Structure 1
Amino acid sequence: MIRLAGLAIPALFLTSAAFAQQADQPVLKGPAAFGDWHADRPGVRRLIKPEDLPKPYVTKSVSNSAGLADMPAGAKPQLPRGFSAELIASGIDNPRAVRVAPNGDLFVADSEANQVRVYRLAKDSAKPTEDGIFAGNLNQPYGIAFYPPGNDPQWVYVANSDSIVRFAYRSGDLKASREPEVIVANIPSNHHWTRDIVFSPDGKTLYLSVGSGSNIAEDMGKAPDGGLDAWVKSQPLAASWGSEEGRADVQAFDPDGKNGRIVATGLRNCSGMTIQPATGALWCVVNERDALGDNVPFEYATSVKDGAYYGWPWYYIGDHEDPRHKGARPDLAGKATIPDVLMQAHSAPLNIAFYDRKDLPADSGFPREYRGDAFVALHGSWNRGNRTGYKVVRLLFKDGKPTGEYEDFMTGFVVSNGEVWGRPVGVAVAADGALIVTEDGNGTIWRVTYDGGRS
């Protein structure tokens, strides 16, 4: 037994014990997929569809934030058979998004410390040979992107909560050589503050996600100045106004920050974005609204379609009207795009990464069946009576299209109904095919590899 903050728990629970989905294990569907952390283990699959949505207020809305436990010595996450996790670093203030430079260095946003850290690992190892602070004096940095895309970027872009800046960069730099250049200024930063960025494959477009300033636009006002009719005619579909203007959306800019426009609206909090290598499509993971009950509405991952509206704040998961905005926007009925992959409500997806590196040899990295799938970090619930999330899941794809199913991949961060030791945030695929995962509960970074009996 290992004792943790006065709580005795089995040592087996804290190991990376091998769990694999049995061939006859059914996919959890509908209400059967709405369980809590007790049902989580590598290999468990879920398929949630729009028609599975319960009605609002079936359960009461609760505040159920997890207590944070110290990570026990020797603790490791649980992974499928053949996989293992090694600790890269610990004791970091607030590791969030992680991105891999073309030369293999790991860039990590240490958001609450207002800095970006960098780690250079030894070959086929989780041991850093060098590490340092690439840049400091930032403002809650989160998203990181290299420009131009390819093997020889000249800039590192960083999304602060209120701006996008860029640093001159040469491959191998462990510290920024100059002060940052502001590319996009005056981004609204209260409430949802995580700003992610990613470049289109051709490098011509810089995408920016901006979360809402509230749960359901409580302070936005009933109508914009000049009236709703005039606003609708002059703005993208379902664009918000007042205190929410320019929020709950994905925006696009030229690499120099000019020619800004709104790509898609109604994305309450798109905390993580990426490009799907197989298709070039932009994807994001979204934290949906609170206070409608334990299982309403579902969180989601989706490709972001230009000009699309995803529901917030008037609708959710298609044509389900939020009862708190009943009758407010009948003109938007039937116009909300249904997301591609639905996940348990209140799981808090924060980052997404596709496992599809074209430069990775076929006989290295994860098994072939993982190629083209995506990993999503679920930070964990607070607005749910039965705790869920606190894990990394795998979204399944076939021929470049999502099946709608997702599978538990990295679990074991919850130690009791009241405490967790890890809250996954960032996911990225390293140059050697390892999966890099950050969690901000105990400030750790992990390197996940597959051996499968090869050693």
Structure 2
Amino acid sequence: MKKHLIAITLILLLIAGGVIFYLAQGDKAKLAAGADTGKEPVFTAPRSELIPTINVAEVKVWTAGEKPVAAKGLALARFADGLAHPRSMLVLPNGDILVAETNSPPRPSGGLVDRVMNYLMNKAGAGVPSANRITLLRDADGDGRAEVKTPFLTGLNSPYGMALVDGTLYVANTDALMAFPYKEGETRITAKGRKILNLPANAPNMHWTKSLTAGPTGLLYVGVGSNSNIAEDGLEGEANRAAVLEVNPRTGDYRIYASGLRNPVGLAFEPKSGALWGVVNERDMLGSDLVPDYLTRIEFGGFYGWPWNYWGGYEDRRVQPQRPEVREYTKRPDYALGNHVAPLGLAFADKVKIGGAFANGAFVGLHGSWNRKPAAGYKVVFVPFAANGEVSKAKPVDVLTGFLDADGHARGRPVDVAGDAKGALLVSDDVGGVIWRVTGGK
């Protein structure tokens, strides 16, 4: 009897998946390549979708000798591999690298829709259980490859962001900001962590990652994504979400630093201006040509539109009740990265020394779309900045490509970006289980 129930469930799952794919075939991007990027992206009319466009790149991971394609003049090698879904990274003062091997907490699986979504997640390589650890990588001999790979901190709960301030390592679990004593050179922390602050993790915890960066005064900044696409079930479940929180780690006091940011993931301070910047994943189900994900300066008290508006004032008519009075207070993002490209990693070029063309600007890891035709993202790009710390009008420049093969398979998916102690660019690849190292070539 049990075998029959399993078989029936699988058949229903396949049928439901087939129906969803069939219904989602109609919307294909019509904008010219690159039109949805830059300071002045092109917008089309919204196309409200009952079922989102689905275009999941099936995983076919790298073999031993394969790798992405680096831009001309750059060289690429594996810094570390064999990792379990590596996501965010932190470069320590002694040159060691911490990487969060992590994934979403267990997702609901009771209903048919939940089963279909889990099927799609598995197909995209995102359905693996979370290792719930931070791993230390050390290149002691300086050859550009980590010969030490060891668990540094275990027993975590879907950890993501990390920051080191005054001898304390802060880790943003999906449900709490934690503090651990850190001693330079040690390869493991065994001390029990101290909770600084609970973080929103109410079911279904749609955007589970909690990004983290430290400010110049020792305050911490936590990126918390929304728990929905456009607050379909109301704003009650969105408290302290779709926002960046500013936290005093000594007291646990916090405030909302900026709001209306649907899913702010990568956070970093721009070195010339000292301003906080972030990359944000925008809303879905308005078609393949909307809405562009973006890079922007995150200002204190700034409101960036979610859920009522996007890109500085375009109204999302699906959101009810409407709030037309907030349009005049909605900040426009600084730079569009493309529709549904899923930016996750952000690093400024002050710590990356890979060549003159990449000397002043920001590196961004584009994890890649699941709901756009043709697929978008799946690469690392460089956004040029002007000398005064403002983003320029130039289009983004490809740094690493080739994460999608000619048949549309995902060989890997870039996540975080960081400059190592020698100025190389590190790129975590969660599907490939690799951290890539980009240098200036020879």
AA at the equivalent of 1:397: F
Match of 1:193 in 2: 208
| Whole-angstrom distance in 2 between the partners of 1:285 and 1:51 | 16
Check conservation: 1:347, 1:378, Cα contact below 8 A.
yes
Match of 1:437 in 2: 427
Structure 1 residues 124 and 373: alpha-carbon distance in aligned structure 2, compared to 1, 3 A threshold: farther
Deviations 1:194-252 (A, max 9, x none): 1011111121x1111110001110111xxxxxxxxxxxxxxxxxxxx411111000011
| Whole-angstrom distance in 2 between the partners of 1:415 and 1:98 | 26
Structure 1 residues 158 and 315: alpha-carbon distance in aligned structure 2, compared to 1, 3 A threshold: same
1:350 to 319, 344, 354: 344
Structure 1 residues 335 and 51: alpha-carbon distance in aligned structure 2, compared to 1, 3 A threshold: farther
Cα drift, residue 327 of structure 1: 6.0
2:148 is the alignment partner of 1:130? yes
Match of 2:392 in 1: 403
2:226 to 183, 190, 212: 212
Q: Cα RMSD between the aligned structures?
A: 1.9
AA at the equivalent of 1:73: A
Cα drift, residue 134 of structure 1: 0.7
Match of 2:98 in 1: 107
Match of 1:69 in 2: 60
Cα drift, residue 421 of structure 1: 0.6
2:98 is the alignment partner of 1:84? no
AA at the equivalent of 1:52: V
Cα drift, residue 313 of structure 1: 0.5
Check conservation: 1:310, 1:338, Cα contact below 8 A.
yes
Structure 1 residues 47 and 347: alpha-carbon distance in aligned structure 2, compared to 1, 3 A threshold: closer
Structure 2: where are the runs of 5+ without partners? 1-29, 103-129
2:311 to 309, 317, 324: 317
| Whole-angstrom distance in 2 between the partners of 1:297 and 1:186 | 27
Number of matched pairs: 381
AA at the equivalent of 1:178: A
Moved over 3 A (4+): 46-51, 58-61
Superposed, 1:168-317 pairs within 5 Å as 168-188=181-201, 190-203=205-218, 205-220=219-234, 241-317=235-311
AA at the equivalent of 1:338: R
Match of 2:340, SS state, is: coil
Check conservation: 1:264, 1:307, Cα contact below 8 A.
yes
Structure 1: where are the runs of 5+ without partners? 1-29, 36-45, 149-153, 221-240
Cα drift, residue 47 of structure 1: 4.4
1:54 to 33, 44, 47: 44
Match of 1:372 in 2: 360
Check conservation: 1:124, 1:432, Cα contact below 8 A.
no
Check conservation: 2:31, 2:289, Cα contact below 8 A.
no
Match of 1:43 in 2: none
Check conservation: 1:107, 1:119, Cα contact below 8 A.
yes
Match of 1:23 in 2: none
| Whole-angstrom distance in 2 between the partners of 1:312 and 1:449 | 38
| Whole-angstrom distance in 1 between the partners of 2:323 and 2:380 | 36
| Whole-angstrom distance in 1 between the partners of 2:324 and 2:397 | 37
Deviations 1:351-398 (A, max 9, x none): 1000103xx8xxxx3223422311000000011121111100001101
Identity of aligned residues (%): 39
Check conservation: 1:191, 1:214, Cα contact below 8 A.
yes
Match of 2:325, SS state, is: helix
Deviations 1:93-128 (A, max 9, x none): 110001100111000000120000010114542322
Match of 1:325, SS state, is: coil
| Whole-angstrom distance in 2 between the partners of 1:373 and 1:448 | 16
Cα drift, residue 186 of structure 1: 4.4
